[in-house]
Amino acid sequence: MTEAGVTEPESHEAKNTGPLAGLRILDMSRILAGPFCTQLLGDMGADVIKVERPGRGDDTRSWGPPFLPGEDGKPTGESAYYLSANRNKRSAAIDMASPEGAQALREIAAQVDVVIENFKPGGLKKYGLDYATLAKINPRLVYCSISGYGQTGPHSHKPGYDILAQGYGGMMSLTGEPDGEPVKVGVGIADVMCGMYAATAILAALRHRDTTGRGQHIDIALVDTQISWLINEGVNYLLSGAAPQRRGNQHPNIVPYQVFATADGHVIVAVGNDAQFSRFCAVLGRPELARDARFATNPKRLENRGELIPLLAGLIAGRERDELLAAMEAAGIPGGPVNTVPEVFATDQVAARGMKITMPHPLSATGTVDLIGNPVNFSETPVSYRRHPPACGEHTEEILREFLGATAAPATSADGGTGPRRTRPGKGGDSRKPRE
Phi, psi angles (nearest 5°) of residue 258: -170, -175
| Measured distance CA(171)–CA(173) in Å, rounded | 5
Under a CB-based contact definition with an 8 Å cutoff, are residues 84 and 373 in contact?
A: no
| Catalytic site residue from 191, 264, 322, 415 | 191
- Residue pair 39/390 in contact by the 8 Å Cβ criterion: no
- State yes or no: pLDDT of 351 exceeds 50: yes
Is residue 127 predicted with pLDDT exceeding 70?
yes
Confidence class for position 406, pLDDT limits 50, 70, 90: low
Does the annotation count 191 as an active-site position?
yes
**What average pLDDT does range 241-270 have in this prediction?**
96
Q: Exposure pattern of 258-297 as b/e (b: 16+ CB <10 Å)?
A: bebebeeeebbbebeeeebbbbbbbbbeeeebbebeebee
Q: Cβ(389)–Cβ(397) under 8 Å?
A: no
For 304-346, write each residue's pLDDT tens digit: 999 999 999 999 999 999 999 999 999 999 999 999 999 999 9
Note the pLDDT of residue 314: 97
Instruction: List beta partners, residue 407.
Output: 421
Beta-sheet pairing, 24-28 with 47-52: parallel
Alpha carbons 108 and 13: distance in angstroms, whole number? 25
Residue 124 identity: L
For the full predicted model, state whether its pTM sits above 0.75: yes
Residue-range domain boundaries for the chain:
24-229+353-432, 272-333
8 Å CB contact between 422 and 107: no
The three-point CA angle 89-92-96 to 5° equals 130
| pLDDT tens-place string over residues 222-240 | 999 999 999 999 999 999 9
Query: How many CA atoms, within 13 angstroms, populate the side-chain half-sphere of residue 366?
Result: 8
Cα 324 to the center of its chain, rounded Å: 35
What is the predicted pLDDT for the residue at 14?
A: 84
| Domain boundaries 24-229+353-432, CATH class | alpha beta
Average pLDDT over residues 401-424: 54
The domain made up of 272-333 has a fold known as formyl-coa transferase, domain 3 (3.30.1540)
Which tens digit of pLDDT belongs to each residue from 56-70? 999 999 999 999 999
